[in-house]
A = this chain, B = another copy of it.
Amino acid sequence: MLLRQAGLSSARALNRSVARSPFTNPRIPYTSGHYLPIRASFSNGGPSAIRRSTELPSLAPHTRVKRRLQRPFLPRYVSTKPLPATQSRFLRFYYRSLAAFGLFVAISGGLVVAFFIYDASTYKEGPSIEEDIPVSEVALHPRRGGPKNLPIAEHLVDDDDSAAKKSQKHKPKLVILGTGWGSVALLKQLNPDDYHVTVVSPSNHFLFTPMLPSATVGTLELRSLVEPIRRIVAKANGHFLKGMAEDVDFSEKLVEISAAGPTGEKQNFYLPYDKLVIGVGSVTNPHGVKGLENCHFLKDISDARLIRNAVIRNLESACLPTTSDEERRRLLSFVISGGGPTGVEFAAELYDMLNEDLAKYFPKILRCEISVHVIQSRGHILNTYDEALSRYAEQRFAHDQVEVLTNSRVKEVQPDKILFSQKDENGKIVTKELPMGFCLWSTGVSQTDFCRRLAAKLEGQNNKHALETDTHLRLIGAPLGDVYAVGDCSTVQNNVSDHIVTFLRTLAWEKGKNPEEMQISFADWRGVAKRVKTRFPQAADHLRRLDKLFEQYDKDKSGTLDFGELRELLLQIDSKLTSLPATAQRAHQQGQYLGRKFNKMALMAPGMRLNQVDYGDLDDACYKAFEYHHLGSLAYIGNAAVFDINGLNFSGGLLAVYLWRSIYFAQSVSLRTRILLAMDWSKRALFGRDLMNF
């Protein structure tokens, strides 16, 4: 049993082995007729001995022994008979189990009592704040100004709330727009003392997006996936304002923010910044399809609630006696437009719910008439994953009777059906229609209006889908060191060739030549390549064999590269660089990167001020460029999961699901969400999913 293994002293273990010795066990009577030979030999020589020892009365031998036993430490006489076992093995096992169980119950009970005591300590008696709260006048009545003459929030009402906040009051103002992966990673990384941090977002929670599909059918609860942003902001001693960024005035360093005023109407004001981080995310891409008002989306937590209600509403409608067969089939036809991870995971979760929970409580006819369809424009679902994985997912779906319609494009969504064109095997495009009762639109992301507005203002912003940044994550076109962008709303420029002159400038200075007329030797090329790698860490993979590249592009075999040849070389590298994926992973890494950089900059600021360095490429001087490390992709596909981690593919059933869960469990934002996740998973196992809508 465990008692012994867990560190009992050996003395105790030995005691147990002695337990059955008659010397020590008072239960075994010293009955006559069972004495050892030694006693016989003793009594052989006994008569004279007894005669001589005057203290011993003349009693029958066993009676004498009995008397002796009452006095401790006398020599004792023992039986030779095999000793009876004191307890049966079974009884002993039973007693010990009982003891172990008792101990377990007692410790558990103790913990519960301790928890109750802790709980009792968390209730506050009476109003907690009695003293006057210092609030600066300028926070209560902000002055107006800026291009639109709006109130400027130079100070906030909680600037003097605590000593920590007071000390930050005059630190550089760091304004963070958005509360997604990038912003939260930045907040978690940031030293709380270096900046006056203000976070602005229309939603006051951080959403753990990768598990959002699980919340749509009740596998997880909505609250388990979100963390109050104020809790995260508080750790950085920051401030939070619930509002939406409308515009940025780069010259006066003001963000225009609109917020719902006291009576619900929009009120705009300016928030001044020294550093601005844009992490406002993206919106659903409509791809110009008509009738998207008949679709559901899956971007925020409230979408998950709407989907859950819609699915259950359809199930309830399907039970009504007034619903015809045809209508029932339509109501139970669930269409997912988009075969990316979100679409696939939603299809999987929906299928799980319909398969595991529906049949228990709803009429069986529903289960027979349900159909789930995934419409994918590419040839395979999960097309950003390894082919083996997307094939595994397709097989899994085929087995689960989830229909996958590949090479299909949605043309229009009507309230009761979806029209799509499908390329058949001969490449001919046919238009089909699918009756449906529910449609999820998850076909990728697009730019928000705010980003579009900024891009239009700035020079050098040519990407239609996202704000372009350099490799230091600085917004292209904005003053250096002022504005950064992270996450889905941004993309890192990979235009190595555009910077050819920059790379050659130092070389040209050294040699006193016009960069465009220079001949670059292999040694020079090595220097250039090093500079390229520093500036574009993502290009490092393609700059491994410098000699080969040099040889390949030295077309005239002159032993040197001229400007044109170098440009061609760099252009070829550009073409190999893909833009970074719009994932939580990338945003998280970018946020962490900015956090570390800002900490470093704050550390170096006093020295720089001393040297009166307040211009030039401070970012570059302080910190390396951003480099993305792809850690892998994973997806849940209905009691199975696929992994694509560092090029290693792995897919499987339940064990993979547990692994998938543990990865997200570990990545979850707080202890609170972790405990809630564990509770939710247990709840599903014990009680199934709740099929209610409200």
* A580 → chain B closest CB, angstroms: 29
The docked-state distance in angstroms from the alpha carbon of A86 to that of B125 is: 52
Closest to A316 in B: B242
The answer to whether A654 has its CB under 8 Å from any CB of chain B is yes
Contact B24 A127 (CB under 8 A): no
Given A16-B15, A263-B416, A322-B151, A639 and B6 contact (CB-CB distance below 8 Å): no
Chain B residue numbers with a CB within 8 Å of A222 are: 694
Chain B residue numbers with a CB within 8 Å of A675 are: 683, 686
* A525 → chain B closest CB, angstroms: 55
Contact B107 A690 (CB under 8 A): no
The answer to whether A74 has its CB under 8 Å from any CB of chain B is yes
Chain B residue numbers with a CB within 8 Å of A228 are: 361, 690-692
Contact B317 A362 (CB under 8 A): no
The answer to whether A549 has its CB under 8 Å from any CB of chain B is no
The answer to whether A399 has its CB under 8 Å from any CB of chain B is yes
Contact A364 B158 (CB under 8 A): yes
**Beyond A21-B23, A23-B76, A260-B313: 18 further Cβ-contacts under 8 Å?**
A2-B103, A3-B103, A6-B101, A7-B98, A15-B15, A15-B16, A15-B18, A75-B77, A122-B684, A126-B399, A129-B364, A221-B223, A223-B690, A259-B320, A259-B322, A261-B322, A262-B330, A672-B683
* A69 → chain B closest CB, angstroms: 12
Given A49-B49, A356-B123, A115 and B19 contact (CB-CB distance below 8 Å): no
Interface residues of A in 679-694 (CB under 8 A from B): 679, 681-688, 690-694
The docked-state distance in angstroms from the alpha carbon of A5 to that of B106 is: 11
Specify how many copies of this chain sit in the oligomer: 2
Chain B residue numbers with a CB within 8 Å of A576 are: none
Closest to A105 in B: B6
Chain B residue numbers with a CB within 8 Å of A321 are: 139, 142, 151, 153, 156-157, 241, 269
Contact A99 B691 (CB under 8 A): no
* A299 → chain B closest CB, angstroms: 12
Chain B residue numbers with a CB within 8 Å of A319 are: 157-158, 240-242
Name A19's contact: one of B11, B21, B223, B261 (CB within 8 Å). Answer: B11
Given A103-B100, A205-B694, A681-B119, A87 and B9 contact (CB-CB distance below 8 Å): yes
Contact A230 B691 (CB under 8 A): yes
Chain B residue numbers with a CB within 8 Å of A75 are: 38, 42, 75-77
Closest to A39 in B: B75
Closest to A100 in B: B103
Chain B residue numbers with a CB within 8 Å of A161 are: 363-364
* A484 → chain B closest CB, angstroms: 24
The answer to whether A80 has its CB under 8 Å from any CB of chain B is yes
The docked-state distance in angstroms from the alpha carbon of A658 to that of B316 is: 39
Given A120-B654, A262-B437, A23 and B25 contact (CB-CB distance below 8 Å): no
Closest to A135 in B: B365
Chain B residue numbers with a CB within 8 Å of A363 are: 156-158, 161
Interface residues of A in 125-146 (CB under 8 A from B): 125-129, 133, 135, 139-140, 142
The answer to whether A568 has its CB under 8 Å from any CB of chain B is no
Mark A649-691 against chain B: 1 for CB-CB distance below 8 A, else 0. 0000010011000000000000110011001011111111011
The docked-state distance in angstroms from the alpha carbon of A120 to that of B609 is: 62
Interface residues of A in 21-80 (CB under 8 A from B): 21, 23-27, 36, 38, 41-42, 44-45, 48-49, 52-53, 55, 73-78, 80
In this complex, the member of A96, A228, A267, A328 whose beta carbon has the largest number of chain B beta carbons within 10 angstroms is: A228
Chain B residue numbers with a CB within 8 Å of A234 are: 360-361
Closest to A41 in B: B53
* A4 → chain B closest CB, angstroms: 8
Chain B residue numbers with a CB within 8 Å of A658 are: 116
* A98 → chain B closest CB, angstroms: 5
* A570 → chain B closest CB, angstroms: 47
The answer to whether A630 has its CB under 8 Å from any CB of chain B is no
* A96 → chain B closest CB, angstroms: 8
Given A124-B355, A685-B119, A3 and B41 contact (CB-CB distance below 8 Å): no
The docked-state distance in angstroms from the alpha carbon of A101 to that of B44 is: 56
Chain B residue numbers with a CB within 8 Å of A18 are: 15, 18, 24
A interface size (C-beta, 8 A) = 161
The answer to whether A323 has its CB under 8 Å from any CB of chain B is yes
Name A322's contact: one of B230, B240, B267, B682 (CB within 8 Å). Answer: B267
Chain B residue numbers with a CB within 8 Å of A231 are: 361
The docked-state distance in angstroms from the alpha carbon of A683 to that of B223 is: 12
Name A53's contact: one of B45, B76, B122 (CB within 8 Å). Answer: B45
Contact A317 B73 (CB under 8 A): no
Closest to A68 in B: B38
Chain B residue numbers with a CB within 8 Å of A324 are: 140
29 sample A-B contacts, Cβ–Cβ < 8 Å, listed by A number: A2-B103, A6-B102, A11-B27, A18-B24, A21-B24, A23-B76, A36-B73, A44-B53, A45-B52, A48-B49, A49-B49, A122-B685, A124-B356, A126-B355, A142-B321, A157-B321, A204-B692, A205-B692, A205-B694, A221-B221, A223-B690, A226-B692, A228-B691, A233-B361, A234-B360, A260-B313, A262-B331, A267-B322, A676-B683
Given A19-B15, A102-B6, A24 and B25 contact (CB-CB distance below 8 Å): no
Contact B73 A38 (CB under 8 A): yes
Chain B residue numbers with a CB within 8 Å of A690 are: 223, 226, 228
Given A100-B103, A205-B692, A654-B120, A95 and B9 contact (CB-CB distance below 8 Å): yes
The answer to whether A89 has its CB under 8 Å from any CB of chain B is no
The docked-state distance in angstroms from the alpha carbon of A86 to that of B13 is: 13
Chain B residue numbers with a CB within 8 Å of A129 are: 359, 364, 367-368
* A658 → chain B closest CB, angstroms: 8
The docked-state distance in angstroms from the alpha carbon of A329 to that of B45 is: 108
Given A48-B48, A262-B323, A694 and B74 contact (CB-CB distance below 8 Å): no
In this complex, the member of A7, A52, A115, A692 whose beta carbon has the largest number of chain B beta carbons within 10 angstroms is: A692
Closest to A141 in B: B324
* A271 → chain B closest CB, angstroms: 8
